Amino acid sequence: MFTKILGSPKTEAEDTSAGRNVPSTTARQPAGRRPGIAGRAAAPSVISADMHIVGDVRTQGDVQIDGTVDGELSAAHITVGESGSVNGEVVADSVEIWGKIAGHVHANDVSLKVGAEVYADIVYKAIEIPRGALVEGALTVMDGTSAQRNRSAVLTYSKESAYAEITRTSVRQTETTSAYVKGDIEK
């Protein structure tokens, strides 16, 4: 079906179609390893809008949630799309929220987007809450260790109140955005 043409192969410098260098051969990946995981270059795993998963979802890569997950969600980077919802614990290095989360969020970087609804306690190193995003839950700044090592702390929060309790302020805001947090802010 395919044949190899013998002769001198093109080098990267010789093939500059579309203004970029293109390798003439594909590097072989080590057995058992998917390309792009270490550099996060691979496409994210996608839970599409018509999917509803009941149970835990774990990956070392990135995940895009456009459907519904009822259970623990653990990944390097999690994006909850506008139609996405997660009911349970979310653990990641970074989380971008356009849709809804109910439960606990534990990540180094948390970025809510306009229209996001989070009914969860959030443990974070850096958080961004724009005007138009809703947060109901405790916001707690984590210490210097990573989100994966601190995930057990998420399970210790009480759900006595549906109102937010901010223990320390480390909310990044710009002049054009402000956070809507239901409850009192303590410094």
Per-residue pLDDT at 20 exceeds 60:
no
Per-residue pLDDT at 126 exceeds 90:
yes
Q: Which residues pair with 180 in a beta bridge?
A: 134
167 domain residue, yes or no: yes
- What's the confidence (pLDDT) of residue 43? 87
8 domain residue, yes or no: no
31 domain residue, yes or no: no
13 domain residue, yes or no: no
Count of structural domains, the chain: 1
Which pLDDT band, with edges at 50, 70 and 90, does 142 fall under?
confident
- Among candidates 113, 107, 111, 108, which has minimal Cα distance to 90? 107
Q: What whole-number distance in Å separates Cα of residue 99 and Cα of residue 90?
A: 13
Six-digit token string for 54: 């009941």
29 domain residue, yes or no: no
Question: How confident is the prediction for the chain on average, in pLDDT?
Answer: 71
pLDDT one-digit tens code per residue, 62-72: 999 999 999 99
- What's the confidence (pLDDT) of residue 181? 53
23 domain residue, yes or no: no
What's the whole-number mean pLDDT along residues 66-93? 96
172 domain residue, yes or no: yes
What's the whole-number mean pLDDT along residues 105-124? 96
Q: What whole-number distance in Å separates Cα of residue 126 and Cα of residue 17?
A: 42
Helices (H) and strands (E) in the chain, counts: 1, 15
Which structural domain range is residue 164 located in?
38-185
162 domain residue, yes or no: yes
